[in-house]
Amino acid sequence: MTEIKLYNSKTRKKEVFTPIDPANVRMYVCGPTVYDRAHLGNARPVLVFDVLFRLLQQVYGADHVTYVRNFTDVDDKINARAAESGRPISEITAETTQWYLDDMSAIGALEPTHMPRATAYIPQMISMIEGLIEKGHAYSAEGHVLFAVESYKNYGALSGRSVDDMIAGARVEVAPYKRNPMDFVLWKPSSDDLPGWDSPWGRGRPGWHIECSAMSYELLGESFDIHGGGLDLQFPHHENEIAQSCCAHPDGEFAKVWMHNEMLQVEGKKMSKSLGNFFTVRDLLDQGVPGEVIRFVMLSTHYSKPMDWTEKKREEAERTLRKWYAIADKGSGIGNPYVAVIQSLSDDLNTAGAIAECHQLAVADDAPTLRHTLQFLGFMGDEVPNWAKAPEVDLSAYAGQLAALRAKAMETKDFSGVDALKTALLEAGVEVRMSKAGVELQPAAGFDPAKLEALK
């Protein structure tokens, strides 16, 4: 069986992945809060863990991997959006959940095994909170229930911070009912105009952190293999998940392996609305950027490094995929992904290495293997997508003209005419291949027939 190595944020080292139960490999990834469109940064963890999901299915079998990614559909941001728009919360969450599913599908992400919504697990959250109070790890105060951070001696181990450091560096909510500034909310009261559920502490709603702990426990058990998410969630969200889950279920270890993807930049700068470089996945799709191109650019950088989205990378990705699809379209039948690609991904999910191996397959013109490999990586369906199909255009006259100029240049040693025509063809979006066998012209990304007309 293929050996997979993953960097574990908890131990701060790369380790051989050994599942608790190879017949049921379990992974939980924090999903979106559904109040708006998913921005480009939201897509990165989806793609990172989609590739890991595919790898685990390849190694252990599709029926032996359980992948859970949640929807947070009760949250103050959702409440605020409802208040400012005047729309019902249920309408907003239903709409934005579907937007998210549509957009992630467009970039080639498989649907997880389970996609629980927080509001469907409120009784389980209440039960977990009751257990934490009984064990002395939580307390109620003024309609709130708070987790007592000092009751969990390993608090801060994941992020490598002491409680004192966290208090100094974090924007903690100051409240008179807190015993410790770092104590975090498990349950809070709801006014009549906000979503709320009956509980032993009055009508209220759950805190963010308890949601993931309750859902992962119900669907994966008290111990599971991998917990993933963006690096921005490591503290406080993941730190708090560990504390409350390990205290609620002391015989379990919660997640064995923690994986965190780095953040996304745009043209070398942090994505922000103030800089005018903030955009959603849907913005790119509506601008005509194919979902596969978004996927390619994202996976070209290792998940542990900051990912820089640039227009140059987008253009290069589109050119590369057009070329690969043209080659892969010649392959057919049943096959397996390239072994070297599986090996790259097995080394801490080295997607950049996997893409480099695909380049080698394309150079070797190994159509069947390239096709199966691209499909495994989430790039190609049964047919080449319309955007990647070469336009039907007769370039034979230009090929003949270039061949004649080349033959003459071989005698005169003056290649200026060859260079001039080749440059003009390239500027028109034509891929030029010259070899001993002759001249081959192929429409490429950015092909502009109008520029060809000017050559006549």
Q: Specify binding-site residues for ATP.
A: 273
Binding-site positions for Zn(2+): 30, 212, 237, 241
Binding-site positions: 30, 212, 237, 241, 273
Say if residues 279 and 39 touch (Cβ distance below 8 Å).
Answer: yes
CB atoms within 10 A of CB 345: 25
Say if residues 227 and 255 touch (Cβ distance below 8 Å).
Answer: yes
CA distance 344 to 356: 9
Q: Tokens for 249, please give them.
A: 């279920």
CA distance 349 to 305: 12
Q: Tokens for 205, please give them.
A: 């709603």
CA distance 435 to 336: 32
As beta bridge partners, residue 230 has: 261
CA distance 258 to 10: 6
CA distance 425 to 332: 32
CA distance 72 to 35: 9
Long-range CB pairs of 159-162 (<8 Å, 24+ gap) are 159/234, 159/235, 159/238, 159/239, 160/12, 161/235
Nearest C-alpha neighbor of 335 from the set 369, 298, 366: 369
